[in-house]
Homo-oligomer: A and B are copies of this chain.
Amino acid sequence: MQNHITQIATQAKAAFYQLAHAESARKNQALILLADLIGEHENTLLAANVQDMANAQQKGVDNAMLDRLKITSGSLKNMREGLLQIVALPDPVGEMDEFRLRPNGLRIGKMRVPLGVIGMIYEARPNVTVDAAALCLKSGNACILRGGSEAFHSNMALAKLIKQALHDTGLPEHAVCFVEDTDRQHVGDMLQAVDLIDVIIPRGGKSLVERISTESRVPVIKHLDGICHVYIDEFADKNKAIAIAFNAKTSRYGTCNTMETLLIHEKRAAEILPELANLYAEKGVELRGCLKTRDILPNMIAATDEDWDTEYLAPVLAIKIVANIDEAIFHINQHGSHHTDSIVTENYTLANVFLRVVDSASVMVNASTRFADGFEYGLGAEIGISTDKIHVRGPVGLHGLTSQKWVVLGDGQVRG
């Protein structure tokens, strides 16, 4: 059944196969040219964005959304720097490893290859348009970008530059495709385009991501929740514990790697919690505690069962005192979102138990959960953070946009 999306996706698939012939240098050349074009056309981009901002304000969109939508000279500079960082990353495509010689003389190993056609469905941020196009191109994937309707003019202005960069470097123009009208039906059609689109990556609010992952027949790589924990163990260094618990909550409230629940061993609670509570109070963080926590800090609001399962994305923190590391790990695996969790301890064995048994995309010892992102992990850039368990967990960089195929090198072998 042909529709607008299957037409686009068919072009994207053809472009993907053409991209397999494109060497790294040419892909990098296109990204460098795109960075230059963004610099040259700054005024056009800003003007397009002014239009989007005006429409959004007229619709009464909230400030957080306006903030994500806005393009400034500074954000354009960041886009250009981001592009050059992606240029500097090694090309993962074609990496070969794990070759073994089999008894029959076959040499069998793996080659890293792109996934194919990636469908990105995202909300307001126009910088995602550039990041996604660049990461997909560098990793040899074609992509279909469907940005939010609020950012329509900004995205179309960026699309024009991306197409020019592809064209001028001799790369297939449909390597980066755009859904150029805001009909919501197209999103539904993308989710049904099995065999044409190989993976869907949604980025946006939880309701968008949930809807997409429920409806999609195409495999989805997604980020859902960030309910992150810090566990202050019996053998924690007090100073590290306070610094990490404070930073993990307060350095930014709206990010997915922000701590939402603090767990602390019962033997250290009376010593550490009052001091931490003072620091949080200075920052205006609302604390909600379990029964034992409120024995130590009686003025605190009582945490309900719902608190353990809530991503506040706000200056609110739930606190629970636990009897031991097993209770802490049980709580994290039960109530967390398998995103990022950290233990503060000086005990070697307990650190290793935590690393092994906590079932999260990122597990940390003596570090703030706030480090969980592609840039901090040295990926150079990320297309998202996965809370899925198959294919890729945590920050998704170039490698997460590839998989490995088997390579079998023979000399005429046949099977007996």
Measured CB to CB, the residues of A under 8 A from B are 17, 20-21, 94, 100, 102, 106, 108, 111, 113, 115-116, 198-199, 214, 217, 219, 221, 237, 239-240, 243-244, 246-248, 251, 330, 333, 342, 355-357, 359-368, 370-372, 376-378, 388-395, 403-416
Contacts and interface: CB of A to CB of B under 8 A. Distances in A.
A94 B412 contact: no
A198 B355 CA distance: 20
B405 A363 contact: yes
B108 A377 contact: yes
Given A219-B390, A388-B219, A368 B413 contact: yes
A365 B109 CA distance: 12
A87 B266 CA distance: 41
A392 B403 contact: yes
B406 A394 contact: yes
Contact of A411 (B100, B366, B389): B366
A90 to B, nearest CB: 13
B251 A415 contact: yes
B21 A357 contact: yes
A171 B213 CA distance: 34
B389 A403 contact: yes
A106 B376 CA distance: 9
Given A247-B414, A361-B406, A368-B415, A390 B356 contact: no
A414 B366 contact: no
B412 A403 contact: no
Given A94-B356, A221-B390, A363-B407, 13 more contacts: A17-B333, A20-B359, A100-B378, A219-B219, A244-B412, A251-B416, A362-B407, A367-B409, A367-B413, A368-B415, A370-B415, A371-B408, A393-B405
A381 to B, nearest CB: 16
A357 B198 contact: no
A14 B261 CA distance: 22
Contact of A367 (B106, B116, B405): B106
Nearest to A377: B108
Given A217-B214, A378-B102, A390-B390, A360 B405 contact: yes
Contact of A413 (B366, B388, B415): B366
Identify which of A21, A366, A367 gathers the most chain B CB atoms within 10 Å of its CB: A367
Contacts of A330: 17
Given A111-B355, A356-B94, A388-B219, A404 B393 contact: yes
